[in-house]
C-alpha cells in the first residue's frame, strides 16, 4: 500500500506520463510533475501530516485538487484518477516515454499503428525493422530507437553489487549443503566486483565421482526461486522472487579452473584468452585446454593461465583492458586489499547526520583493525544535516583532543566534510580549517553547472591552502543520479600540482571515483583515499566495496593514501600545507 512520499510521487509521475500521451493540458501535466518532484524531496512524510490533521495545501504547488488526491492515496491506497487513465491506456505504456527520443506523439503512433505497449515490444519491433515504415519515422530513427531501448532495458535491470550480495551469498551457502558438492563459487560480474550486476552466475564443483543431480535438485528447490527458466543436468537458470536471474553451472573437479575462468572473465577477456590458445594450435573452453584430444590444463585457474604463458589474473582485472599483456610480461599490479588499510579518512557522527557518537565510531573502526579515523562531519551549509559552524567545530575539536587522551590503539583525526560553494570557496573560514588535521571537501549543490564551470569550481576549491581531499568526485549515485559534468583529467592533474588527494568513496551506492578514474589517478601519480563515509557503526563494512572498485582501477597499496601508517600520513598531510 503506498504510504511514503516516494510512492505518491511515483503515482503523480505516472499520471503525468499518461496525460502526456493523451495530450492533455500542459499546465495540468506540469502541476503533477512539480508536485511529484516536491514530494520526492520533502523531508516530512505527508502521511504524518495527514494523521496530525495538517493542511496539505500549505505545501508548495499543492492546491485543493492535488491535496484531495494525496489524501485519497494515503487513506485508501488507491487513486481513481490513475485508475481511470489505466482504463483508457495500456498499463505500461507510460514507460515508453522514458526511452530517449520518444515523445507522446511517437508513443501514440507506435501504439495505434503497431500495438506496441511495452518496452520489450518496442525492442522487438525495432529489431524486426517494423518501425521504419511508420509515417515520420524512417530507418535512422528506427536505429536510434533500437539503441535507446537497449540502453533503457539494460539500465533498469542491473542490480547494485551490495544488493546482489544479499541474494547471492545465502544461495551459495544453500548450495554448499547439497550432496556431492566440493565447492561453490559466485562468478561472473559479481566476482569481478562490477558496481552493478545483470545476473548472478554460480559454479558448483562436484567431488570426484559425485553426480550433479542432487545439487541440481537442491538448486531449483531453493525457496526463493520463483520460476525455472531452463533446467538440464549441468546447467540451469532461474528467476528469484526478487526478479534477479541466477545461472548455474555444475562441473567436475577436473574442470573447475577452466569453468571458473570461463564464467568469471568478461566476455572480451575470455575471447582474448581463447585467441592465445588458438594461436598455439590448442583449444580453450569451459572444460579445459586441449592439444588435440589431450587435456593439458583445467583443474585450477592457475594452471589455465600458466599454460597460456600468463600469470594468474585477479578477477577484477579481467576486462581486456591491458591485463593480458601485463600478465604475459610479469607486470600485473599487486592490487590493494582490505588488510592494507590502516585508517579511514571520512566518517560522520551524530554531531551532523551520523547516528553514533565519536567514541562508538572510534571503537568500531578499531575493531576492524584500523589505527586512525578522521571525523568529518558536515559543514554549516548542510543545514538539513545539522552541519557544523565554526563554534561547534571548535568544540568538537576539543572533545576529540580529550577523547584521544583516553583512547588506546586508535587515534581520531580532526576533520570536516566541507561544502564547496558554487564559486569554489569553502563553506568555513580558513581560521576554522587551520585547526584541523585534514579537510575533506565536496560538491553538494548545483550539480547542473556546465562542464567548465563545474571543473573550475573544484580547481578553485583545491587551491585553498587547507584543502586535503576531494570527496566523491563525480557525485553520481549508482542507477539513480548521473555524475555531474566535470573534466576529471583536469581535476586529477590539478591535484597532482597542488599535492592533494582524491577520494574513492566506498559507499555501495556511490563507489566514486569510478574504476577508470582510479586508473587515471594512478597514471598521473595522485594518491586515492578509500573512505567509508560511515554514518553509523555498520558502515565501516562498506570499505570492502571500495577495495573492490580500487582493484578494478588497478590500484596497489602504494597508490592509496590511507594504507600509510599514521606518522607517514601526517607527513603527507603536512606536506600539502607547506
By beta-carbon proximity to Ca ion, the closer residue of 20 and 201 is: 201
Helices 26-41 and 5-21 cross at an angle (nearest 10°) of 160
Residue 235 bridge partners (DSSP): 249
Query: Which of Ca ion, ligand DGT, none sits in contact with 267, Cβ below 5 to 8 A by type?
Result: ligand DGT
Residue from 471, 526, 536, 516 nearest 495 by CA? 526
Burial profile 185-214: b = 16 or more Cβ within 10 angstroms, e = fewer: bbbbbbbbbbbbbbbbbbbbbbeeebebee
Query: Which of Ca ion, ligand DGT, none sits in contact with 270, Cβ below 5 to 8 A by type?
Result: ligand DGT
- The residue with cell 579481467 is 318
Residue 270 touching ligand DGT (CB under 6 A): yes
Residue 263 touching ligand DGT (CB under 6 A): yes
The answer to whether 41 and 107 have CB atoms below 8 angstroms apart is: no
Min separation Cβ 193 and ligand DGT, Å: 11
Stretch binding ligand DGT (CB under 6 A), from 88-96, 205-213, 263-271, 543-551: 263-271
- Among 14, 185, 199, 437, the residue binding ligand DGT under the rule CB under 6 A is 199
> What distance in Å separates the CA atoms of residue 305 and residue 313, rounded to the nearest whole number?
8
CA distances from 23 to 28, 113, 574 (A): 11, 17, 62
Min separation Cβ 99 and Ca ion, Å: 24
By beta-carbon proximity to ligand DGT, the closer residue of 147 and 558 is: 147
- Among 117, 189, 396, 468, the residue binding ligand DGT under the rule CB under 6 A is 189
- For ligand DGT (CB under 6 A), the number of binding residues is 15
SS3 336: coil
By beta-carbon proximity to Ca ion, the closer residue of 188 and 315 is: 188
Stretch binding ligand DGT (CB under 6 A), from 21-29, 41-49, 197-205, 288-296: 197-205
Residue 304 touching ligand DGT (CB under 6 A): no
- The residue with cell 578509500 is 530
- Among 17, 20, 195, 201, the residue binding ligand DGT under the rule CB under 6 A is 201
By beta-carbon proximity to Ca ion, the closer residue of 200 and 412 is: 200
- Among 52, 140, 267, 406, the residue binding ligand DGT under the rule CB under 6 A is 267
- Three cell numbers written together for 142: 528506427
Min separation Cβ 318 and Ca ion, Å: 13
By beta-carbon proximity to Ca ion, the closer residue of 158 and 346 is: 158
Residue 319 touching ligand DGT (CB under 6 A): no
Tally of residues, the chain: 578
By beta-carbon proximity to Ca ion, the closer residue of 259 and 361 is: 259
> What distance in Å separates the CA atoms of residue 393 and residue 416, rounded to the nearest whole number?
8
Q: What is the dihedral of CA 34, 39, 42, 48, to 10 degrees?
A: 140
Helices (H), 407-487: 430-433, 451-462
- The residue with cell 589455465 is 304
Residue 266 touching ligand DGT (CB under 6 A): yes
- Among 94, 119, 212, 265, the residue binding ligand DGT under the rule CB under 6 A is 265
By beta-carbon proximity to ligand DGT, the closer residue of 249 and 380 is: 249
Min separation Cβ 249 and ligand DGT, Å: 9
- Among 193, 264, 379, 542, the residue binding ligand DGT under the rule CB under 6 A is 264
Stretch binding ligand DGT (CB under 6 A), from 187-195, 231-239, 365-373, 542-550: 187-195
Q: Spell out the residues 6+ positions from residue 511 whose beta carbon is closer than 8 angstroms to its own.
A: 195, 478, 504, 505, 545, 546, 549
One symbol per residue from 210 to 249: x for binding ligand DGT (CB under 6 A), - otherwise; what is it? ----------------------------------------
> What distance in Å separates the CA atoms of residue 299 and residue 47, rounded to the nearest whole number?
59
> CB burial class (10 A; 0-12, 13-18, 19+) of residue 329?
exposed
The answer to whether 147 and 163 have CB atoms below 8 angstroms apart is: no
Min separation Cβ 271 and ligand DGT, Å: 5
115 Rama sector, left if φ>0, alpha if ψ -120 to 50, beta otherwise: left
Min separation Cβ 529 and ligand DGT, Å: 28
- DSSP 8-state secondary structure symbol assigned to residue 484: P
By beta-carbon proximity to Ca ion, the closer residue of 247 and 539 is: 247
- Three cell numbers written together for 106: 511517437
Residue 198 touching ligand DGT (CB under 6 A): yes
Residues forming contacts to Ca ion in the complex (CB under 5 A) are: 188-189, 199, 201, 247
By beta-carbon proximity to ligand DGT, the closer residue of 274 and 453 is: 274
CA distances from 231 to 85, 213, 220, 237, 532 (A): 41, 11, 8, 7, 41
- For the chain, the C-alpha Rg in angstroms (whole number) is 27
The answer to whether 479 and 158 have CB atoms below 8 angstroms apart is: yes
- Among 197, 210, 310, 500, the residue binding ligand DGT under the rule CB under 6 A is 197
Residue 188 touching ligand DGT (CB under 6 A): yes
By beta-carbon proximity to Ca ion, the closer residue of 121 and 189 is: 189
Positions that interact with ligand DGT (CB under 6 A): 188-189, 194, 197-199, 201, 262-267, 270-271
Amino acid at each position: 500500500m503506498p504510504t511514503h512520499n516516494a510512492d505518491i510521487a511515483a503515482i503523480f509521475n505516472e499520471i503525468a506520463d499518461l496525460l502526456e500521451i493523451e495530450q492533455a493540458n500542459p499546465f495540468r501535466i506540469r502541476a503533477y510533475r512539480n508536485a511529484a518532484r516536491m514530494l520526492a524531496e520533502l523531508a516530512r512524510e505527508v502521511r504524518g501530516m495527514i494523521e496530525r490533521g495538517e493542511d496539505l495545501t500549505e505545501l508548495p504547488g499543492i492546491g485543493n485538487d492535488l491535496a484531495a488526491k494525496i489524501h485519497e492515496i494515503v487513506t485508501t491506497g488507491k487513486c481513481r484518477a490513475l485508475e481511470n487513465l489505466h482504463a483508457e491506456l495500456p498499463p505500461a505504456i507510460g514507460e515508453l516515454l522514458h526511452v530517449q527520443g520518444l515523445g507522446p506523439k511517437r508513443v501514440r503512433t507506435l501504439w495505434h499503428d503497431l500495438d506496441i505497449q511495452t518496452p520489450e515490444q518496442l525492442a522487438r519491433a525495432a529489431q524486426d525493422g517494423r518501425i521504419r515504415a511508420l509515417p515520420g519515422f524512417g530507418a535512422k530513427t528506427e536505429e536510434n530507437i533500437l539503441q535507446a531501448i537497449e540502453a533503457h532495458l539494460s539500465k533498469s535491470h542491473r542490480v547494485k553489487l551490495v544488493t546482489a550480495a544479499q541474494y547471492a551469498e545465502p544461495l551459495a551457502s544453500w548450495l554448499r549443503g547439497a550432496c556431492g558438492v566440493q565447492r561453490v563459487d559466485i562468478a561472473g560480474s559479481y566476482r569481478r566486483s562490477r558496481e552493478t550486476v545483470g545476473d548472478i552466475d554460480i559454479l558448483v564443483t562436484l567431488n570426484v565421482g559425485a553426480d550433479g543431480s542432487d545439487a541440481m535438485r537442491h538448486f531449483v528447490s531453493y525457496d526463493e526461486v520463483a520460476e525455472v527458466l531452463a533446467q538440464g543436468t549441468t546447467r540451469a537458470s532461474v528467476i528469484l522472487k526478487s526478479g534477479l536471474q541466477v545461472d548455474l553451472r555444475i562441473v567436475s573437479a577436473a574442470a573447475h579452473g577452466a569453468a571458473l575462468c570461463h564464467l568469471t572473465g568478461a566476455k572480451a577477456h575470455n575471447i582474448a584468452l581463447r585467441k592465445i590458445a588458438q594461436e598455439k594450435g590448442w583449444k580453450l573452453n569451459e572444460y579445459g585446454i586441449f592439444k588435440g584430444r589431450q587435456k593439458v590444463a583445467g583443474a585450477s585457474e592457475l594452471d589455465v593461465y600458466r599454460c597460456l604463458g600468463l600469470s594468474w589474473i585477479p578477477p577484477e582485472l579481467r576486462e581486456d583492458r591491458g591485463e593480458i599483456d601485463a600478465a604475459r610480461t610479469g607486470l600485473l599490479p599487486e592490487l590493494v586489499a582490505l588488510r592494507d588499510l590502516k585508517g579511514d579518512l571520512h566518517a560522520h557522527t551524530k554531531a551532523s547526520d551520523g547516528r553514533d557518537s565519536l567514541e562508538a565510531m572510534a571503537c568500531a573502526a578499531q575493531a576492524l583493525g584500523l589505527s586512525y579515523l578522521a571525523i568529518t562531519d558536515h559543514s554549516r551549509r548542510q543545514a538539513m544535516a545539522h552541519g557544523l559552524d565554526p563554534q561547534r567545530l571548535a568544540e568538537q575539536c576539543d572533545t576529540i583532543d580529550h577523547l584521544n587522551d583516553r583512547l588506546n590503539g586508535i587515534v581520531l583525526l580532526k576533520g570536516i566534510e566541507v561544502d564547496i560553494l558554487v564559486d569554489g570557496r569553502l563553506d568555513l573560514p580558513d581560521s576554522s580549517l587551520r585547526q584541523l588535521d585534514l579537510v575533506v571537501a565536496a560538491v553538494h549543490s548545483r550539480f547542473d553547472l556546465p562542464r567548465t564551470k563545474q571543473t573550475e569550481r573544484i580547481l578553485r576549491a583545491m587551491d585553498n591552502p587547507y584543502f586535503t581531499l576531494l570527496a566523491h568526485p563525480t557525485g553520481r549515485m549508482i542507477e539513480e543520479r548521473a555524475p555531474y559534468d566535470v573534466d576529471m583529467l583536469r581535476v586529477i592533474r590539478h591535484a597532482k600540482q597542488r599535492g592533494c588527494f582524491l577520494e574513492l568513496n566506498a559507499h555501495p551506492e556511490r563507489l566514486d571515483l569510478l574504476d577508470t578514474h582510479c586508473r587515471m589517478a594512478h597514471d598521473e601519480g595522485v594518491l586515492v583515499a578509500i573512505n567509508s563515509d560511515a554514518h553509523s557503526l555498520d558502515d565501516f563494512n562498506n570499505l570492502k566495496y571500495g577495495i573492490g572498485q580500487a582493484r578494478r582501477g588497478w590500484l596497489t597499496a602504494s597508490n592509496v593514501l590511507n594504507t600509510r601508517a599514521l606518522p607517514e600520513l601526517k607527513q603527507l598531510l603536512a606536506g600539502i600545507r607547506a
